[in-house]
């Protein structure tokens, strides 16, 4: 049972790092477009992962209006490039505008408009430092397999919504999406290719490091 004090702490942590004007504006746009942005707690965690790993080559599935992209770009080195895949042309356009409004140099972002499963197969193996998945939930199992293929050994996988509005943790909730995400999390927890953690920020940010299978270390 979660106490009121624990809920207060979670809310405090979620709001701990305030968003700047560019992210606030992208957040408003994302909500208007029906492309719900990552929360600020999840965004700050993404920025941390990008900074800690020195991620220069980042892939995102689901740009929305660009909130998560802005967080990651802030953590990446100045020569880092974000490639983000977005199905909806309007969302892709808004993501580009959000990056520009935040002063991100155009060569640092590549927004690919298209269906993730059409784009991902064209991307190179073991070439990326960080992959963030935040698109249609039905696609997550296939996106994860592509992400593991795209990541270099030691690279990071991040997936938003892995607690899915507090539904995953409740075994009585068995709708299709909840069951899919619950099962996926458990499968990946036991996947020898990964070292995983389910971070209780926002809607649940699943994070994992791809092991170096050649050495059995990272
Ligand atoms: C939750 S929103 C992303 C929010 C964004 N990451 C942010 O923090 O601002 C999900 C996005 O995934 C996109 N999407 C849905 N299905 C997709 C697919 N098959 N391929 C690529 N993008 C997809 C949607 O159009 C939507 O913009």
Q: What is the mean pLDDT of residues 141-145?
A: 98
Q: What is the mean pLDDT of residues 96-105?
A: 98
Q: Could you tell which of 136, 164, 177 is best to mutate to test the pocket of ligand 1, judged by most ligand atoms within 8 Å of the CB? A: 136
Report the alpha-carbon distance of residue 32 to residue 97 in Å, rounded. Answer: 15
Q: Could you tell which of 67, 87, 98, 177 is best to mutate to test the pocket of ligand 1, judged by most ligand atoms within 8 Å of the CB? A: 87
Q: What is the mean pLDDT of residues 168-194?
A: 98
Q: Does residue 217 surpass a pLDDT of 80? A: no
pLDDT at 25 (0 to 100): 98
The pLDDT-based confidence of 1 (bands split at 50, 70, 90) is: low
CA of 64 to the centre of ligand 1 (A): 5
Report the alpha-carbon distance of residue 203 to residue 183 in Å, rounded. Answer: 16
In CATH, what number is assigned to the domain containing residue 101? Answer: 3.40.50.150
CA of 35 to the centre of ligand 1 (A): 6
pLDDT at 213 (0 to 100): 81
Report the alpha-carbon distance of residue 97 to residue 51 in Å, rounded. Answer: 23
From the number of C-beta atoms within 10 Å of its C-beta (0-12, 13-18, 19+), residue 187 rates as exposed
CA of 63 to the centre of ligand 1 (A): 5
Q: What is the mean pLDDT of residues 82-90?
A: 98
Q: What is the mean pLDDT of residues 190-204?
A: 97
Number of domains in the chain: 1
Q: What is the mean pLDDT of residues 53-64?
A: 98
| Residue whose token pair is 């802005």 | 70
pTM, entire model: 0.97
Q: Does residue 129 surpass a pLDDT of 80? A: yes
pLDDT at 214 (0 to 100): 65
Q: What is the mean pLDDT of residues 79-104?
A: 98
Mean model confidence pLDDT for the chain: 96
What proportion of the chain, given as a percentage, has pLDDT over 70? 97
CA of 121 to the centre of ligand 1 (A): 18
| Residue whose token pair is 């477009």 | 33
pLDDT at 202 (0 to 100): 95
Residue 15, domain extent: 4-216
Ligand 1 pocket, CB under 6 A? 30, 35-38, 61-62, 64-68, 85-88, 91, 115-116, 134-136, 139
pLDDT digits (tens, 9 = 90+) for 146-176: 999 999 999 999 999 999 999 999 999 999 9
Are the CB atoms for 203 and 163 separated by under 8 Å? Answer: yes
CA-nearest of 16, 73, 61, 9 to 41 is 16
């Amino acid at each position: 049972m979660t106490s009121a004090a624990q809920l207060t702490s979670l809310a405090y942590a979620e709001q701990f790092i305030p968003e700047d004007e560019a992210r606030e504006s992208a957040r408003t746009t994302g909500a208007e477009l029906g492309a719900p942005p990552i929360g600020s707690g999840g965004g700050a965690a993404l920025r941390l992962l990008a900074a800690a790993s020195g991620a220069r080559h980042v892939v995102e599935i689901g740009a929305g209006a660009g909130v998560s992209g802005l967080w990651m770009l802030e953590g990446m080195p100045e020569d880092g490039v974000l490639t983000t895949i977005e199905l909806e042309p309007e969302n892709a356009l808004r993501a580009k505008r959000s990056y520009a409004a935040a002063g991100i140099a155009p060569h640092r972002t590549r927004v690919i408009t298209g269906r993730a499963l059409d784009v991902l197969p064209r991307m190179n193996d073991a070439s990326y430092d960080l992959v963030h998945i935040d698109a249609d939930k039905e696609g997550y199992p296939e996106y994860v397999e592509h992400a593991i293929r795209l990541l270099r050994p030691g690279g990071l996988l991040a997936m938003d919504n892995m607690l899915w509005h507090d539904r995953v943790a409740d075994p009585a909730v068995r709708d299709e999406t909840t069951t899919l995400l619950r099962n996926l999390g458990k499968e990946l927890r036991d996947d020898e290719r990964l070292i995983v953690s389910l971070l209780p920020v926002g809607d649940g940010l699943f994070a994992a490091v791809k092991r170096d299978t050649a050495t059995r270390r990272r």
